[in-house]
Amino acid sequence: MTKDEDLQMDKTLDTAAAEGAVYFIFGATGDLARRKLFPALYSLYREGKLGDRFAIVGLARRPRTDEQFRDDVHESIREFCRYKPAEGGEWAAFAERFSYHPLDISNVDGMRQLSETTQELERRYEIPGNRLFYLALAPDLFGTVSRTLRDGGMLNSPGWHRLVIEKPFGYDYPSAERLNEEIRQVFREEEVFRIDHYLGKEMVQNIEMIRFANAFFEPLWNAGHIANVQITLAETVGVEERGAYYNKSGALRDMVQNHMLQMLTMIAMEPPSRLDPEDIRDEKVKVLRSIRTFSSPEEVRARVIRGQYAEGSSKGKPLPGYRQEESVPADSATETFFAARMFVDNFRWAGVPFYVRTGKRLPVKSTEIVVEFKNAPRNVLFARKQELQPNLLVIRVNPMEGIYIKINAKRPGNEMTIQPVVMEYCQSCLVGINTPEAYERLIFDAGRGDSTYFTRWDELAAAWQLVDPIAAAWRNNESELHFYPAGTWGPEQADALLREDGFRWWPVNGEEEDNVVWVTNSKPQ
Ligand SMILES: NC(=O)C1=CN([C@@H]2O[C@H](COP(=O)(O)OP(=O)(O)OC[C@H]3O[C@@H](n4cnc5c(N)ncnc54)[C@H](OP(=O)(O)O)[C@@H]3O)[C@@H](O)[C@H]2O)C=CC1
Ligand SMILES: O=C1O[C@H](COP(=O)(O)O)[C@@H](O)[C@H](O)[C@H]1O
C-alpha cells in the first residue's frame, strides 16, 4: 500500500466514526442481539469506532422500558463482551444512547412513530440521517420489515440507509430468490449487507494477505503444485435447544452453503485487480460458478457423505444421539455431519480436490484450512526409502488463530534422515484471544459502507444452486445417512473419501504426529 492509500484508509476509518448513524436492532430481545450484537457495539464504542454521533434503537414486540432495555444490554455485555462494562458515569454515557421501541414489524403506524422519535435522536446527537437497520429476525420477516420501513417513512431521511440481514437467506434457491425480490423492491443491492460471520473472522480475512503478500505462496498456488485442499469446521456442541431451526436446516444449509463455500472461494479465487469490494466479490462468484455441480444422485453418492451423531461420549461424559435430543423428532434424517470432495473446474485448479467437512459433536472445536502441496521429486531420498511427508500450509481460523507451515528438514546427526518440522505463527498466543469478534468487524464495515466481507446476491444464488441438488438427492433417499458416535470424527466413509484418492485428513488443532518438531511462539492448545 502506498503512503497515500494508507492515509486514505485512515481517513475511511475516521469518516465512519465521525459521520455518525442510528443503528436499529430489530429482534432486540432475541438471542443474537444478546450474545453477539450488543457486545459488538460496546467493543466498537470502547475502541472509539462508533464516534460521538450515534444512537442505538432496540425493537421487538414485547414491552420494555428504556431502563429495562439498558439493564438487558448491561447484562449481555457483562456476560459476552470482551470488554467488561465500565462503571458509573462512563457506562451511563454509553447506555443513554440506547432506547427501546416496542413494535410489531408489520405495523406501519408504529413505524411512523419510530420515524418521529428517530428524528429527535438525530437532532440530539447531530446525526445526519444515516440509518442502519440490522434484522436479527426470522428471515420470513425480512420482506415485511423492508416494506414497513419504506411505508412508515423510515427511508426518507437525508443520509444513507443500509439493511444488514442474517442468515439463513432462504431455504433453497427459489425461496432465496423470492426473498431477494421482496427486499429489492425496497433496497438497492448496494444497500443490502448479507452477513456470513465467517467472513468477519480475522483469519478468513487474512487468507488474502497470506496468498497475495507472500512471494513464495502465490507462484505455487495452482494445480501444478497443490495436491489438495482440506477445509474442516468441527464443533463439539450438539444441536441442544436449536432443534426447531436446525432440524430443517442440517449441516448442508447451516454451514456448507455459506461458511464452508465462502472459505473455499477465498482460497480459490483469482487475485482481484483492485482491492475494491466489487472486484473481490466478482472473483469469488467466478469460483462458485466454477465448482463442479452435483448433477446426478450418483454424483452425490460418490462425492458427498452425510452423517448424524448417535449416542457417544466426550472426555468420559456420555452424550445423547441427535434423535434423543429434546428438540428433535425421534426419526429425524437431518444430517449433523457433511463431507464432500469438490472440484473447481478452472485453469488454476484443474483436478485438485477440495475436501470440506463439518459436523456437530466432533472431538474438538476447530476450524482449519490445510493446503497440501505436491511432493518434491523423490530422487535421492527415495533411494534411501524414507517417507517424505508433504509440505502443508495450515490456516487456523477458529478458536485458535494463526498459520503454520510444515516442511522437511534434516535430522541433526550423521545420517541423511528427514525430520518433519512445523513452524507456527500462533497469532492468538501473541495478541491474546481478545481480538475483535467477527460481528464487530462486520457492523463496523456496514457502518462505513464497506461490503467486501458481505455476501452479494449472485454469490448466494450460485451457492444455493450448488447445494440444492445435494439436498434433493437426500430428500429422495438416494444416498445413505451414516451414523457416528458423538465425540468422534464422523462416519468412516468420510475418511474413505480421501483414501480413494490416496490422501487422508490431516489432524487439526495442533494434534500433529509425534515425530514432528514444532517451532512456535507458543505450544498449540
Ligand atoms: N442466535 C444466533 O446465534 C444466530 C442467529 N442467526 C439468525 O439471526 C436471526 C435472529 O436469531 P435469534 O436472535 O436467535 O432469534 P430469537 O428467536 O432469539 O429472536 C427473534 C427476535 O425477533 C423478535 N420478533 C419476532 N417476531 C417479531 C415481530 N413480528 N415484530 C417485531 N419483532 C419480532 C423477537 O422479539 P419479540 O418476541 O419480543 O417480538 C426476538 O427479539 C435469525 O435469522 C437467525 O437465523 C444467525 C446466526 C447465529
Ligand atoms: O452460523 C453458525 O455458526 C456456528 C459456528 O460458528 P463459530 O463461529 O462458533 O465457529 C454454528 O454453531 C451454528 O450452527 C451456525 O448456525
Q: Which tens digits make up the pLDDT trace of 123-145?
A: 999 999 999 999 999 999 999 99
Q: What is the pLDDT of residue 388?
A: 82
Mutate to test the pocket of ligand 2, among 31, 195, 197, 362 (most ligand atoms within 8 A of CB): 197
Q: List the residue whose alpha carbon is closest to atom 8 of ligand 1.
A: 136
In this predicted structure, the answer to whether residue 487 has a pLDDT above a threshold of 90 is yes
- The pLDDT > 90 percentage for the chain reads 83
Is the model more confident about 242 or about 458? 458
Question: Among the atoms of ligand 1, which is closest to the Cα of residue 168?
Answer: 45
Give the chain's domains with CATH numbers.
19-166 (3.40.50.720), 199-518 (3.30.360.10)
Cα gap 447→437, rounded to integer Å: 16
Q: Is 398 in the pocket of ligand 2 (CB under 6 A)?
A: yes
Q: What is the pLDDT of residue 4?
A: 46
142-167 pLDDT tens trace = 999 999 999 999 999 999 999 999 99
Q: Is 161 annotated as belonging to a binding site?
A: no
Range in 228-237, 240-249, 314-323, 499-508 with the lowest mean pLDDT: 240-249
In this predicted structure, the answer to whether residue 6 has a pLDDT above a threshold of 50 is no
Cell output for 416: 541423511
Q: What is the pLDDT of residue 7?
A: 41
Task: Determine the distance separating the centroid of ligand 1 and the alpha carbon of 73, expressed in angstroms.
Answer: 16
Q: Is 196 in the pocket of ligand 2 (CB under 6 A)?
A: no
Range in 51-55, 302-306, 346-350, 384-388 with the lowest mean pLDDT: 384-388
Question: Among the atoms of ligand 1, which is closest to the Cα of residue 135?
Answer: 9
Q: What is the pLDDT of residue 418?
A: 87
Cα gap 195→27, rounded to integer Å: 15
Mean pLDDT of 339-345: 98
In this predicted structure, the answer to whether residue 15 has a pLDDT above a threshold of 90 is no
Residues with CB under 6 A from ligand 1: 27-32, 35, 60-62, 103-105, 136-139, 141, 166-168
SS3 4: helix
Confidence of residue 381 (pLDDT cuts 50, 70, 90): low
Active site residue 259: yes
Mutate to test the pocket of ligand 2, among 205, 254, 435 (most ligand atoms within 8 A of CB): 254
Any idea which ligand is nearest the CA of 398?
A: 2
Mean pLDDT of 73-96: 94
Among the listed residues 74, 161, 225, 259, the single catalytic one is 259
Q: What is the pLDDT of residue 187?
A: 98
Any idea which ligand is nearest the CA of 194?
A: 1
Task: Determine the distance separating the centroid of ligand 2 and the alpha carbon of 77, expressed in angstroms.
Answer: 20
Task: Determine the distance separating the centroid of ligand 2 and the alpha carbon of 360, expressed in angstroms.
Answer: 10
Torsion sign across C-alpha atoms 469, 475, 478, 484: positive
Mutate to test the pocket of ligand 1, among 26, 32, 107 (most ligand atoms within 8 A of CB): 32
Cα gap 441→456, rounded to integer Å: 17
Mean pLDDT of 185-198: 97
Task: Determine the distance separating the centroid of ligand 1 and the alpha carbon of 164, expressed in angstroms.
Answer: 14
Mean pLDDT of 477-501: 96
Cα gap 452→230, rounded to integer Å: 24
Please state, rounded to an integer, the average pLDDT across all residues of the chain.
93
Q: What is the pLDDT of residue 511?
A: 79
Q: 310 Cβ partners below 8 Å, 6+ apart?
A: 321, 322, 323, 483, 484, 485, 486
In this predicted structure, the answer to whether residue 303 has a pLDDT above a threshold of 90 is yes
**Residue for grid cell 414485547:** 62
Task: Determine the distance separating the centroid of ligand 1 and the alpha carbon of 25, expressed in angstroms.
Answer: 10
pTM value is 0.94
Mean pLDDT of 6-11: 46
In this predicted structure, the answer to whether residue 348 has a pLDDT above a threshold of 90 is yes
Mean pLDDT of 260-276: 94
SS3 13: helix
Mean pLDDT of 472-497: 96
Q: List the residue whose alpha carbon is closest to atom 29 of ligand 1.
A: 104
ipTM field: 0.98
In this predicted structure, the answer to whether residue 396 has a pLDDT above a threshold of 60 is yes
Range in 82-91, 278-287, 423-432, 464-473 with the lowest mean pLDDT: 423-432
Q: 251 Cβ partners below 8 Å, 6+ apart?
A: 306, 335, 336, 337, 338, 358, 359, 360
In this predicted structure, the answer to whether residue 523 has a pLDDT above a threshold of 80 is no
Range in 327-336, 385-394, 444-453 with the lowest mean pLDDT: 385-394
Any idea which ligand is nearest the CA of 246?
A: 2
Q: Is 401 in the pocket of ligand 2 (CB under 6 A)?
A: no
Task: Determine the distance separating the centroid of ligand 1 and the alpha carbon of 135, expressed in angstroms.
Answer: 8
In this predicted structure, the answer to whether residue 315 has a pLDDT above a threshold of 90 is yes
Q: Is 358 in the pocket of ligand 2 (CB under 6 A)?
A: no
Q: What is the pLDDT of residue 74?
A: 97
- The pLDDT > 70 percentage for the chain reads 94
Question: Among the atoms of ligand 1, which is closest to the Cα of residue 197?
Answer: 47
DSSP state at residue 171 = S
Q: List the residue whose alpha carbon is closest to atom 4 of ligand 2.
A: 255
Q: Is 71 annotated as belonging to a binding site?
A: no
Any idea which ligand is nearest the CA of 38?
A: 1
In this predicted structure, the answer to whether residue 213 has a pLDDT above a threshold of 80 is yes
Is the model more confident about 7 or about 465? 465
Confidence of residue 383 (pLDDT cuts 50, 70, 90): low
Q: What is the pLDDT of residue 520?
A: 85
Q: List, edge to edge, every strand of the sheet that includes 21-26.
A: 98-102, 54-60, 21-26, 131-135, 161-165, 192-194
Q: What is the pLDDT of residue 378?
A: 65
Q: What is the pLDDT of residue 525?
A: 46
Q: What is the pLDDT of residue 385?
A: 67
